[in-house]
Amino acid sequence: MGDPGLSKLQFAPFNSALDVGFWHELTQKKLNEYRLDETPKDIKGYYYNGDSAGLPTRLTLEFSAFDMSAPTPARCCPAMGTLYNTNTLEAFKTADKKLLLEQSANEIWEAIKSGAALENPLLLNKFLLLTFADLKKYHFYYWFCCPALCLPESIPLIQGPVGLDQRLSPKQMQALERAYDDLCQAEGVTALPYFLVKYDDSTVQVSLLKHYSDFFQGQRTKDRYCGSRIDQAFCNLESSLLHSPADSQQDCFKATKGLVECSK
């Protein structure tokens, strides 16, 4: 049991942000491709952690959501989803949402247990979208859900939120930015949802989750990037990250905006 006097790590759920272009493209897909087909479809959204404080945590779907090869907007992270488009309003209302949620959560959990999520962290970034499009009245109904694994016990915060500029020196901040940009460039992306960080007084190094074991060899304290805009909470996706095999022995967390420090 944790110390009742310690604050608890909190998670902020995603808010769906479905652009009008998404509904237009869904209409075209329904008319010309899906027709009466109700089988699940792969779709893609994205999120950004650089919005001003106070704005909701948004997962955006645009017209390009149906093109899995479409580029993700600059400095945004992709999220992979499943679309369940029903043919009737009744089917939409009676769909077993609990079952859909459990199936998606099980996929995340299996990816974590197998280690696949360390190789491909996008397996942690899942969402569900259940829809019905009344094309005669142009009424659209939807249910959006971003599965997040529940931690068995609340995680105590042994230190309150601290800004990166309070934790790192200007030189370290510049080194972190350069190292992050170099890693993004090497991976062919403009943003990474999760990555590892280690630093000392003179250097800052970053790496991918799959290099966890070697990257932190011989170190007691580990930092992982959890880029939250909210002082008191992290994004729901990061609750899945905390279930990863790399974190199975961690007990307490210090909250730093941008970094989570884990201490055994």
Please name the amino acid found at residue 260: V
pLDDT for res 167? 82
Q: Which 3-state string (H, E, C) describes 57-110?
A: CEEEECHHHHCCCCCCCCCCEEEEEEEEEECCHHHHHHCCHHHHHHHHHHHHHH
What percent of the chain shows pLDDT beyond 90?
56
Q: Which CATH number fits domain 10-145: 3.30.9.10, 3.30.365.10, 3.40.140.70, 3.40.50.300?
A: 3.40.140.70
Greater pLDDT, 228 or 154: 154
Q: Where in the chain is the domain with CATH 3.40.140.100?
A: 156-263
Q: Where in the chain is the domain with CATH 3.40.140.70?
A: 10-145
pLDDT for res 80? 96
Buried b (16+ CB within 10 A) or exposed e, 32-56: eebeeeeeebebbbbbbbeeeeeee
pLDDT for res 223? 52
Instruction: Kindly state the average pLDDT of the residues 110-139.
Output: 94
Domain 156-263 has CATH 3.40.50.720: no
